[in-house]
Amino acid sequence: MIGILLSLLALAAPAGTDLPEEAAAPVPPGPIRVAGSSTVAPFALVVASSADGHAVVSQTGTTAGLAALCAEGQPVAFAGASRQVRPEEVTRCAEGSVATLVELELGLDGIVLVQGEKQRELSLTAHDLYRAVARTVPLGDGNCRLVPNRVRNWRDVRAALPDRPIMVLGPPQGSATREALIELAVRTGARAEPCLAALEREDEPAFLDSLRLRDDGAWVDTGGSDGAAAYALTRMPDAIGIFSFVHALKQEGLETLSFDGVHPTAATVADGRYTLVRRAYLYTTAGQLTRDPRVMRMVGAFRDPALVGPGGVLTAMGLVAGEEAGRARLIDTATGEDTPLRR
Amino acid sequence: MNKSSARIRRALSLRFSAAMLLLAIASTVGFVTALSLNQRERHRAEAIAMVSSQRALSQRIALLTSRLDQDREPERLREELHAAIARMRRQHDVLTLGASADVDLTRFLSPIQGLYLQGYLPFDRQVRTFLERAETVSAAEPGSDAWQSAALDRYLVVGMGTDALPQSHALIVQVMQADAEAALTKGRWVDGLLWLSALGLIGAIAIFIFGPMGRRVADSIDNIATAEARARQAARSADAERKAKGAFLHAAGHELKTPLNALIGFADIIRQENVSDKADEALQEMQFASDHLLGLIDAILDAHRAEEGTLTLNEEAFCVAEPLEAASRITEGLCRRKGLGLEACIDVPTTSMVFGDAVRLRQICLNLLDNAVKFTEAGSVGFEASVAETEGVLTLSILVTDTGMGIPAARQSAVFERYAASEDAVARGVGGLGIGLSTTKTLVGLMGGEIALRSEEGAGTEVSVTIPLAKVVPAAPALEAPERDGPIRVLIVDDNAPNRMVAEAMVKIAGGEAVLGCDGVEAVEAANADWFDLILMDISMPRMDGIEATAIIREDGPNMTTPIIAVTAHVAREEVPDLLDQGFDEVIHKPIRKDLIADAMMRWTGPGAAPLRRTA
């Protein structure tokens, strides 16, 4: 524990120019506030309660969570993220008077496809998923013109798939899970189309634009509540859902689907056989860290192998402990330079 | 309506009512089900609308929150924000069953509670946190400390109100719509089941209610058809039987009349000889008996014809007084034999000639008089006849009275029924066939007349008859006939030897001279060989009948214009009405009497012989 504190004090030194200013800000009253990814939210709750006992977690999605962390008055102490912070977000933090971001890597989280447990098996590939959820698809037969996707039934995606209407309940815009799904599954699937593979090489922005998801009812944004989405799946048996592996484990009455022939388990997520995997992060600011001892305690807890390491509490909750779990770095928002932290 | 028909009507009515009741019940069930499903869907639509409204409210709250520090009238904005928050909270309470929701809405809200309550951070919690944050924001004055400390709240209210809450509410709407579609599918099944049930019910009604009824009606129709066929068969049998009976009666009548003709004729002839008084009396009795028998034969045949509807009248000119006087004469004999008096008053001019059937008129009078004599043991029988003329029509009125036993009032209406009078006669100790009065009534009816009976038991009976008769207007007098030399020459043709002998004797008595022929062939030969004043021609004969022989005689030869009188024992007068059209000048029926022959000879060969015509 002392080691952690020393390290934190040490990492505060390079950003000394803004520390006095940030330190002058009063410690906000009330519980520690956490915003961001719904994937990270439950871990934040557990860790916060173990470290301090008073935390309020808001599932705003990764992008909104990071924005809140750097917003005026720094209303939240932590932002949970299902991806790494982007350079433009770092820049916005600099504009929001946050000089240094602190990044903690929590572990690996799978993105899994689920359905009501009474449904017939639906084994999808990345290409299937692309053909089902992309807003536009090539006309086909050598014609690369992108046309609105009119496919309504899985059987029309691939003849071997069952006769079942396409309805995918997935995370909304701003969700890192959605971005990861597009990146890992939809983009991969699109590449299987020769037209789009060529487009990616020749005009990447146009290619990325072609990966937008449908808005005609085949894809349904579920909002931030995984519980509601999970329950909806039990009421709409034809639908499939996109969940983080962590949440999927918690839902009753649902079963996970294999993707590209691999069933998602802690082992297949950890060893990379299951390909829909992203990393989970927790962000705070150096100012919060130095100003509020509770924040420091939580950071310490998140770096504790007993929590994030193999066999730890978070892995028991579904987070897969990667090699980098517990790794931390400081990001200078002005320059974007980062400084790894020792354990 | 017989019992069977009433039973079928009752059963049909009952089954029809049962069928209508069942259909009414089915229709009501269908209507109530449809109404109930309709009501349910209306409440479901209300629930869905409420969730959709939450979606709009969260966006409204986010919008108002984002404008709080920019608007020139922050107070108005805050009021609007308060109202939106209050409304969203109220509706959220209803949707999460926290407030006293309408029972009808609860039915649709209960299944979606998992959407609000499931998960480690349930959507319900998110909504309430959102509302709390929005309230915190709305309570803070822009620029104040509270405003500063509510920065996260503002941020989250704007973010969640714009995306997460509308999306989750949209998801709830989507789930409810999926439920609605499932309910719609179920409703279609219910509709299908109702339709099938209705079909089943109609089928059941057809099979179990109208099927048996139909079979019963079909059976009844079959029974009716069978009964009709039997009736037709029976009618055919009866008709054949009646025809056979008629044929038998005709034949029997002809066969009986032929010898009877000889008997009567011979008795007539013998009485002309000088016989002792005793023998004359015996012959007279024999004539009476023969006449009676003849009358019976005619009565039987007439009754049969009346029954068949084939009784018709002859149409010939006659002196209306003659049949009346004949009847009177015959009755006089009957009365004398029974010791009764006959008070006859025939007030009819002997010059009154009419067209009609003299024989039938005599028969009517005789039947009535015979009946009066039969039922009168003491006293007298009265017979009055008179005519009244109106516009060329003579109305003959006949009144027959007796001082007999009379007829009880209860039986008076039945005396004109066939065979009823027979029972009556037997009951009263007198004989009779019981057909005379009914035949009389039929004859009077055929003549266009009327018959009425008035009787008092123990005091006697009175029968009155009125008959209209067409008057005969005598033609202009014929030219004076040439004086005759020698006796009247008559050719008598008959295949029956006794009848030939009788006719020959009667012609001789009338002062004529007879040549005989035994069939048509001989008649033609005789007519070709010599000239005659009159020919009496039998009709039914072997080799050539009288009709054919007459036709040949009329073709050529010395007797082309000689009067030819058909003499027939044919019982049916209506069988030979066209004889007059076939060359005959008159028809007389056997048995022949000397008076009849003398009369004919006088009429056709005498100085007054002239054709007669009927009045208009």
Task: State the sign of the Cα–Cα–Cα–Cα dihedral B250, B256, B259, B261.
Answer: negative
Q: Same domain for A25 and A10?
A: yes
8 Å CB contact of A73 and B118 = no
At A111, list the tokens: 């993105």
Q: Same domain for A186 and A227?
A: yes
Residue corresponding to tokens 């009414």: B24
Q: What is the pLDDT of residue A148?
A: 94
8 Å CB contact of B174 and A28 = no
8 Å CB contact of A222 and B168 = yes
8 Å CB contact of B168 and A228 = yes
Rounded to whole angstroms, how far apart are CA atoms B24 and B33? 14
Q: Same domain for A238 and A144?
A: yes
* Chain A with chain B: Cβ pairs closer than 8 A: 127
At B348, list the tokens: 């009819």
Indicate the residue among A221, A253, A277 that finishes a domain. Answer: A277
Instruction: Tell me the CATH number at A78.
Output: 3.40.190.10
Domain housing A218: 111-277
Q: Residue A19: which pLDDT band, with cuts at 50, 70 and 90?
A: very low
Rounded to whole angstroms, how far apart are CA atoms B38 and B174? 20
Q: Same domain for A254 and A183?
A: yes
β strands within B191-337, DSSP E:
316-319
Chain A partners within 8 Å of B126 (Cβ): 59, 224-225
Q: What is the pLDDT of residues A142-182, one digit of tens each?
A: 788 999 999 999 999 999 999 999 999 998 887 888 888 99
The DSSP secondary structure of B353-422, one letter per residue, reads: EEEE-HHHHHHHHHHHHHHHHHT-SSSEEEEEEEEEEETTEEEEEEEEEE-S----HHHHTTTTSTTHHH
Q: Same domain for A213 and A231?
A: yes
Q: Is B127's Cβ below 8 Å from some Cβ in A?
A: no
Q: What is the pLDDT of residues B98-143, one digit of tens each?
A: 766 677 788 888 888 989 988 777 899 889 999 999 999 888 888 8
Q: Is A333's Cβ below 8 Å from some Cβ in B?
A: no
Q: Which residues of chain B have pLDDT under 50?
A: 476-482, 610-616
CB A85 within 8 A of CB A221: no
Q: Is B149's Cβ below 8 Å from some Cβ in A?
A: yes
The DSSP secondary structure of A259-290, one letter per residue, reads: BTTB---HHHHHTTSS--EEEEEEEEEHHHHH
Rounded to whole angstroms, how far apart are CA atoms A53 and A299? 14
Give the one of B121, B151, B171 whose C-beta lies nearest to A232's C-beta. B171
Give ipTM to 2 decimals.
0.78
In the three-class reduction of DSSP (H, G, I as helix; E, B as strand; rest coil), residue A106 is classed as strand
Rounded to whole angstroms, how far apart are CA atoms A94 and A78? 16
8 Å CB contact of B164 and A29 = no
Q: What is the pLDDT of residue B430?
A: 60
CB B147 within 8 A of CB B140: yes
Rounded to whole angstroms, how far apart are CA atoms B208 and B231? 34
- Span A283-289, average pLDDT: 90
Between A341 and B124, residue with greater pLDDT = B124
Indicate the residue among A237, A256, A277 that finishes a domain. Answer: A277
Chain A partners within 8 Å of B119 (Cβ): 225-228, 230-231, 250
Indicate the residue among A225, A252, A277 that finishes a domain. Answer: A277
Q: What is the pLDDT of residue B612?
A: 44
Rounded to whole angstroms, how far apart are CA atoms A316 and A307? 9
Closest CA to B165 of B116, B113, B105: B116
Q: What is the pLDDT of residues B404-435, one digit of tens each?
A: 888 888 878 777 876 665 566 666 666 566 67
Give the one of B116, B121, B175 whose C-beta lies nearest to A236's C-beta. B175
Mean pLDDT of chain A: 84
Q: Same domain for A178 and A261?
A: yes
Q: Is A35's Cβ below 8 Å from some Cβ in B?
A: yes
Count of the separate structural domains present in chain A: 2
8 Å CB contact of B152 and A76 = yes
Rounded to whole angstroms, how far apart are CA atoms A166 and A161? 11
Amino acid (one-letter) located at B83: A
Amino acid (one-letter) located at B574: E
Q: Same domain for A198 and A267?
A: yes
Chain A partners within 8 Å of B54 (Cβ): none
The DSSP secondary structure of A183-237, one letter per residue, reads: IIIIHHHHHTSHHHHHHHHH-HHHHHHTTPBP-SSSEEE-TT-HHHHHHHHHH-T
CB B301 within 8 A of CB B249: yes
Q: What is the pLDDT of residues B450-459, one digit of tens each?
A: 999 888 888 8
8 Å CB contact of A250 and B149 = no
Give the one of B115, B122, B129 whose C-beta lies nearest to A232's C-beta. B115
Q: Is A225's Cβ below 8 Å from some Cβ in B?
A: yes
Q: Is B177's Cβ below 8 Å from some Cβ in A?
A: no
> Which A-chain residues 265-304 have CB contacts (< 8 A) with chain B?
none
In the three-class reduction of DSSP (H, G, I as helix; E, B as strand; rest coil), residue A138 is classed as strand
Q: Residue A58: which pLDDT band, with cuts at 50, 70 and 90?
A: confident
Kindly tell me if the per-residue pLDDT of A271 is higher than 90.
no
Q: Same domain for A174 and A35?
A: no
8 Å CB contact of A232 and B159 = no
Q: Is B313's Cβ below 8 Å from some Cβ in A?
A: no
| Farthest CA pair distance, chain A | 66
Q: Same domain for A222 and A319?
A: no
Q: Same domain for A260 and A303?
A: no
Q: Same domain for A270 and A334?
A: no
8 Å CB contact of B148 and A228 = no
Residue of A nearest to B116 (CA): A228
Residue of A nearest to B154 (CA): A75
Q: Which residues of A12-43 are buried (b: 16+ CB within 10 A; e: fewer)?
A: beebeebbeebeeeeebeeebbbbbbbbbbbb
Rounded to whole angstroms, how far apart are CA atoms A53 and A312? 19
8 Å CB contact of B126 and A225 = yes
8 Å CB contact of B155 and A229 = no
Give the one of B168, B174, B175 whose C-beta lies nearest to A225's C-beta. B168
Residue of B nearest to A238 (CA): B178
8 Å CB contact of B170 and A236 = no
Q: Is B142's Cβ below 8 Å from some Cβ in A?
A: no
Q: Is A177's Cβ below 8 Å from some Cβ in B?
A: no
Q: What is the pLDDT of residue B476?
A: 47
Angle at B177 between CA B173 and CA B181, to 5 degrees: 170
Q: Same domain for A176 and A146?
A: yes
Chain B partners within 8 Å of A242 (Cβ): none
Task: State the sign of the Cα–Cα–Cα–Cα dihedral B360, B363, B368, B369.
Answer: positive
Chain B partners within 8 Å of A38 (Cβ): 121
Chain B partners within 8 Å of A173 (Cβ): 163
Residue of B nearest to A72 (CA): B151
Rounded to whole angstroms, how far apart are CA atoms B13 and B18? 9
Q: Is A198's Cβ below 8 Å from some Cβ in B?
A: no
